[in-house]
Amino acid sequence: MPEASITPTLIWFRQDLRIHDNPALQAAIERGGSVIPVYLFDEAGEGDWRPGGASCWWLHHALQDLAAQLDKHGLRLILGIGQSASELKRLIAETGAGAVYWNRRYEPAVILRDAKIKEALTQRGLEAKSFNSALVFEPWEIKNQSGKPFQVFTPYWKHCLKRAIPAPVEVELKHAHAPRNWPATRALEELALLPRIAWDTGFFPFWTPTSAAAKQRLGKLAASHASGYTRNRDRPDMDGTSRLSPYLHFGQIGPREVFAAFARYDAEGTKGGRKFLSEIGWREFSYQLLYHFPHIPTEPLRAEFNHFPWEMDETLLSAWQKGLTGYPIVDAGMRQLWTTGWMHNRVRMIVASLLVKHLLVPWQEGARWFWDTLVDADLASNTQGWQWSAGCGADAAPYFRVFNPILQGQKFDPNGDYVREWIPELRPVATSIIHKPWEGGGEQLGGVVIGRDYPTPIIDHSRGRNRALQAYGKLKALRSA
């Protein structure tokens, strides 16, 4: 069929904000005709999980970056605001498009919305095709011997690694054709993604939200065979993690590209390489759980935890959110989160344990706070992390395992560098007591007055641990009654 007679294709970008390894984009190019890239800001289509403030900041810059990449190839990113179905209908009428291609998402509300859109487009005689760009394996592909989804990570990932890892998709943008007339677009600023007050100033030194930055960071990690990753990944005082999570969430780099990068340097056989790739596996596992158990963003996977005796306390929650719990490793993490939109993964576990176990605040409250303040807020990973910490999810930490924030600080921030970076009022305090400054005195405190310059612990560790164990005992009693 002559190129001119083929109707245009709308390529609907979502959380796949890249032009490389993008199967929907490549399929649109292969179809022939003109290619019209589109991004629709549809808050209602996200259900109860509209992007939080930090995510919106990242999204703004990622869209800016995507538009620049497309422009180099003679294409424009068309922006729309409002319900996806209505906006697609308008664009189809304006462009004469005969096909809409997109890459799949797996959040429950989005799955329902996309299914309705695909059905409506098909009924109108249009091509409506979706592809996988976000995961190595589709959630419905991996099953245990009983044909059910895995609920323990290790056997899940062992099963996955027996399968072939798909290669990244080659996107031939030199064959992409622009339309003669571009449809109307909204300006990026009209999406109102950036904050009205400058709470994001600390984000800029910490992040470069571009696809090129993601590739650079991945390349360095893979070229070093993730050297030191296993040893340093738990040290918040070091740059020992990949910090690829926001790039993966927004699709500025894909998991297939991660595997390909490590394979290129033959790092899959190294300890660091294997450990890092297992973290990609944990992300896959989280999406499998979200797909098969769509209630888990708000309800525990283990149904008995619906009866857990939480003790919601707004004052305690607020102190935790502000980094004023009196436990330095916890407060450093919460302040890092507020300043940079990110928190070290080991510290995420420590702060979560304090909230749900010492303070008995429901895990959903912590998940919501992370959702609004993390640039890498991802419904699958965030849900899985909080349910793991609360002991109510798949492959979760036992509820009776209560992190000691003092020992955790001493073990993973032995010199207090992380604490001093994020809690400037504790910088004069001696290293020997930096993680328990309330026990110090005189010269050890360097003039810091506990209770005035920095709070005393919001709850004694032993008391908090006992409260958690008592609550767990009540749950066990209910289950056996």
Q: Is 270 annotated as a binding residue?
A: no
Q: Is 371 a catalytic residue?
A: no
- Write down the catalytic residue from 199, 282, 338, 438: 282
Q: Is 310 a catalytic residue?
A: yes
- Write down the catalytic residue from 49, 342, 363, 369: 363
Angle between helices 328-340 and 345-353 (to 10 degrees): 120
Q: Is 245 annotated as a binding residue?
A: yes
For 128, the 3-state DSSP assignment is strand
Q: Is 378 annotated as a binding residue?
A: yes
The dihedrals phi and psi of 237, each to the nearest 5 degrees, come to -80, 0
Angle made by CA atoms 286, 50, 370, in degrees to the nearest 5: 55
Q: Is 182 a catalytic residue?
A: no
Nearest to 77 by CA among 36, 130, 20: 36
Q: Is 49 a catalytic residue?
A: no
> Quick one: tokens of 287?
């999406």
The dihedrals phi and psi of 81, each to the nearest 5 degrees, come to -130, 130
Q: Is 386 a catalytic residue?
A: yes
- Write down the catalytic residue from 310, 421, 425, 438: 310
8 A C-beta contact, residue 166 and residue 136:
yes
Q: How many other C-beta atoms lie within 10 A of the C-beta of residue 319?
A: 18
- Write down the catalytic residue from 94, 279, 421, 425: 279
Q: Is 203 annotated as a binding residue?
A: no
- Write down the catalytic residue from 207, 320, 371, 386: 386
Q: Is 243 annotated as a binding residue?
A: yes
Q: How many other C-beta atoms lie within 10 A of the C-beta of residue 51?
A: 17
Q: Is 376 annotated as a binding residue?
A: yes
CA distances from 354 to 289, 324, 363, 417, 479 (A): 25, 12, 11, 21, 25
Q: Is 345 a catalytic residue?
A: yes
The dihedrals phi and psi of 130, each to the nearest 5 degrees, come to -120, 155
Q: Is 244 annotated as a binding residue?
A: yes
Q: Is 276 annotated as a binding residue?
A: yes
Angle between helices 53-71 and 211-223 (to 10 degrees): 90
- Write down the catalytic residue from 182, 345, 421, 438: 345
Q: Is 229 annotated as a binding residue?
A: yes
Q: Is 86 annotated as a binding residue?
A: no
> What residues are designated binding site for FAD?
229, 241-245, 276, 376-378
Instruction: Tell me which residues are annotated as active site.
Output: 279, 282, 310, 345, 363, 386
> What residues are designated binding site?
229, 241-245, 276, 376-378
